[in-house]
Chains A and B, each alone.
Chain A
Amino acid sequence: MISDPHDPFAHLCSDHGGEHPSVLNLPYVPLGLKQEWLELETRRHFLGRGSKALAWAGLATLLGRSAPHLLADTGALPGLQPHFAPKAKRAIYLFMAGAPSQFETWDYKPKLSDLFDKDLPESVRGGQVLTGMTASQARLPIAPSFYKFAQQGKAGHWVSELFPYTGKIADELCVIKSLYTEAINHEPAILSMTTGNMFPGKPSLGSWLAYGLGAINEELPTFVVMTSKMPVRTNVQALSNRLWSSGFLSPEYAAVALRSGGDPVLYLQDPKGVSRDVRRAVIDGVNDLNRQLFERVGDPEINTRIAQYEMAFRMQTSVPEVTDFSDEPASTWDLYGPKAKEPGTYAYNCLMARRLAERGVRFTQIFLRTWDNHSNLPTNIRAMAEDSDRPTQGLITDLKRRGMLDDTLVIWGGEFGRTVYSQGTLKPDNYGRDHHPRCFSMWMCGAGTKPGVSHGETDDFSYNIVKDPVHIRDFHATILHQFGIDHNKLTFKSQGLDQRLTGVLPAKVIHDLLA
């Protein structure tokens, strides 16, 4: 069948003979909806057809599968390659959920030590509405950091004594002290960080990257998430798969979450008595049925199904290999610390992240929660730092010595900052801090970010930003830029909008952070 290129409802699929009716043949479907379906279908042409072709090829010969992912038969598929030569091929995002206090970590405020238990000047707060947790407090007494700081390395970053290991690699870090967000509670704030929007239903950063760039290694998921065992049992921050969902993008761009105990991925092993060949035959059969269904109704989600069966089958061999640490040299354990041998710990996850990055996983996000120190902050934050400091430094050192820091972007940070004033009773060695969206600190390193840079400034109370504010969307735009992506051009049409990670408000790449 030769389709008329000017007929908007001519079927675009080259492999569809037109013998079955499709959505487009249904008379009662409104025109606009058909148009949108068509656009969706065209946009997904690549993975739709690509992975279907892949599935078919996979059935014939698994070993011979070559998956020419980014090159279509007809030539390049623009939009699936970076817009310009990227600095980053992959990223590891160390997500400190619960929001670490900037006062004890990266925003050194020496003048506060003279202001212990003084009231926060009204002029600084500027009438800001507080959360329900501290709005009823009679006073807002200033709590200086219990922990000391010292300048480290050539760059002279002020590093907290909580991070003796990270201090050793301070010169690698590009520290941003002027991030801000609109959200004041965890769920919307974490969603803003992970998806660029407070409301659920948007794709996360990793999904956008998977959608925009495709896989490096077809045998492993493009986007992996790991949650870490909690070093502290108070103020546990809930995490849900909303944070790594693909939103309105095809579900195959959602993260595969590796479990922290037992099998890293459930049901990967062949059931007892079922051989690999039988398993393959079953998947072939299911795929064949799905393919027939696709031909009939044309729903691109069916291709997603096929792709996922294929991915699961491939992970049966690739995941056991990557999760088997027996080939690690002894120096690994010195670097990441002994906890790296215990599955599910943050240290273990850091090592796993390196192994995944080595094998071409584009985006790995490790969540470490319980930074939400409303009370007993000095004790709790110490436990958090002790759990994470050494593996973090280990990861960066390891990436560097293996030549991977050149093209692996590492990001550390939470979802907002914390208040200068104490929540609850204030003592020199015990206090709490409430949520504070107006400023917080993060750092990045590797993949063409500028090492040793300290960007942005807050006032003496780390309450307001006084220099170079960085909104989350600017931060996202900058990350995409390192991947060779113009954030304005990575879009997906949904709900009548050309949706993008950075949303509709203007966002900009922060060139000062880049080498």
Chain B
Amino acid sequence: MICWPDLSLPALLSAVLLALAPSFAQAEPATYADRVAPLLDRNCTVCHGAEKHKAGLRLDSYAAILQGAESGAVVKPGDLKGSEIYRRITLPTHDEDFMPSDGKPPLGSAEVVLLEKWIAAGAPETAAFEAPPLPPVVVVPPAAPDYRSRLAQANELARTLGVQLVPRSQVSTDGLIVRTASAPAQCTDAVLAKLAPVADLIVEAELARTQTTDAGLHAVAAWVNLQRLDLTRTAVTSAGMIALAPLSKLEAINLTSTKVDDQGLAVLQANPALKKIWVFASAATPVP
């Protein structure tokens, strides 16, 4: 294996799961308003809400849920088997009738249990019922500040510098990719320095085959939200790696075909954020 260090994610995860396990089983009081409604809102109301009401069904208010679909009731209080809504969410995921439809991610098992307990308890509108707590929602922090107001600036910068600044996705806090594949030879240390105005927006830098040297990595060090850095076939050396130390979000770095040796590798290994370091055809010894 070339990739180092393999922080065992499964091991970490199972530790987390173990920690959660006891509380998972314990029931706690829940209500329609604080647990059921948000769940339906997250998973169902895009198709069964104010804008679209597929099958004539709305799931965005208590009254609407009990009113059911064109074809009849979907929730029969106290009758799990007779509740169409329950049947739909517990079918095999490939079943045509499975909900949510269209390949949307299925409900988690804890979410299914919540609906089950609610219906079994008579689908109360306000009264509390017993249900296991949901596992804590993992809130993914934004990768970078919102790019929307700065795209024109980024575009102008890219044009003058001869690189591309590409949104990683339409999610405006997903950051920008510095892309150089069309003309890597044009991307010099000076160009990297001139990207300073968008430094905080850059989450990925594809600098393979560019003219980047150790000096240029000082500019890269200012890209505080950088997660992935590809330096394949550049002139960087171990000396340059020190500059990258402050990058606390850097998860993956590719040093294939560079002169970086074990010394540089040791510097990088001190960065707790770094999960993957590729050193194929470099001067460093791959760590198994």
Given A71-B155, A360-B181, A506-B96, also A85-B208 (CB < 8 A): no
Given A71-B151, A403-B254, also A507-B103 (CB < 8 A): yes
Given A402-B256, A403-B280, A506-B101, also A84-B171 (CB < 8 A): yes
Find chain A residues with CB under 8 A from B232 CB.
Answer: 358, 402-403
Q: Does A271 contact B (CB under 8 A)?
A: no
Q: Does B139 contact A (CB under 8 A)?
A: no
Number of A-B contacts (CB under 8 A): 131
Find chain A residues with CB under 8 A from B143 CB.
Answer: 85
Find chain A residues with CB under 8 A from B106 CB.
Answer: 511
Find chain A residues with CB under 8 A from B159 CB.
Answer: 66, 68
Q: Which of B80-88, B161-169, B242-250 is the contact stretch?
A: B161-169
Find chain A residues with CB under 8 A from B181 CB.
Answer: 216-217, 219, 359-360
B2:A71 contact, CB within 8 angstroms: no
A82:B103 contact, CB within 8 angstroms: no
B170:A66 contact, CB within 8 angstroms: no
Q: Does B158 contact A (CB under 8 A)?
A: yes
The residue of chain A having its C-beta at the shortest distance from the C-beta of B92 within the complex is A468
Q: Does B154 contact A (CB under 8 A)?
A: yes
User: Which residue of B94, B158, B165, B252 contacts A508 across the interface (Cβ within 8 Å)?
Assistant: B94
B174:A85 contact, CB within 8 angstroms: yes
Majority secondary structure of chain B interface residues (helix, strand, loop or mixed): loop
B182:A218 contact, CB within 8 angstroms: yes
B158:A66 contact, CB within 8 angstroms: yes
Q: Does A44 contact B (CB under 8 A)?
A: no
Q: Does B93 contact A (CB under 8 A)?
A: yes
Q: Does B281 contact A (CB under 8 A)?
A: yes
1/0 per residue, CB under 8 A from B, across A80-108: the answer is 01111110000000000000000000000
A67:B182 contact, CB within 8 angstroms: yes
Given A217-B182, A468-B94, also A78-B170 (CB < 8 A): yes
A469:B94 contact, CB within 8 angstroms: yes
| B103 → A minimal CB distance (Å) | 3
Which B residues between 133 and 184 are near A, CB-CB below 8 angstroms? Answer: 143, 147-148, 151-152, 154-155, 158-171, 174, 179, 181-183
1/0 per residue, CB under 8 A from B, across A476-506: the answer is 0100000010011000000000000000001
Q: Does A400 contact B (CB under 8 A)?
A: yes
User: Which residue of B2, B92, B169 contacts A84 across the interface (Cβ within 8 Å)?
Assistant: B169
B154:A71 contact, CB within 8 angstroms: yes
A358:B208 contact, CB within 8 angstroms: yes
| B26 → A minimal CB distance (Å) | 28
Q: Does B223 contact A (CB under 8 A)?
A: no
How far is B133's CA from A172's CA once the two chains are assembled, in angstroms? 36
A75:B152 contact, CB within 8 angstroms: yes
Q: Does A73 contact B (CB under 8 A)?
A: yes
A70:B151 contact, CB within 8 angstroms: no
B169:A484 contact, CB within 8 angstroms: yes
Q: Does A69 contact B (CB under 8 A)?
A: yes
Q: Does B105 contact A (CB under 8 A)?
A: yes
B169:A66 contact, CB within 8 angstroms: no
Given A84-B169, A403-B280, also A75-B162 (CB < 8 A): no
Can you report 20 residue pairs joining A to B where beta carbons are below 8 Å apart?
A: A64-B162, A66-B161, A68-B158, A68-B159, A71-B166, A74-B152, A81-B166, A82-B169, A84-B170, A85-B168, A85-B174, A86-B169, A360-B182, A400-B2, A401-B2, A401-B278, A401-B280, A402-B256, A403-B2, A508-B94
**Extra 12 A-B pairs, beta carbons < 8 Å, given A78-B170, A401-B278, A403-B252:** A63-B183, A70-B164, A74-B152, A76-B167, A218-B182, A219-B182, A219-B183, A329-B281, A401-B256, A402-B254, A468-B92, A511-B93
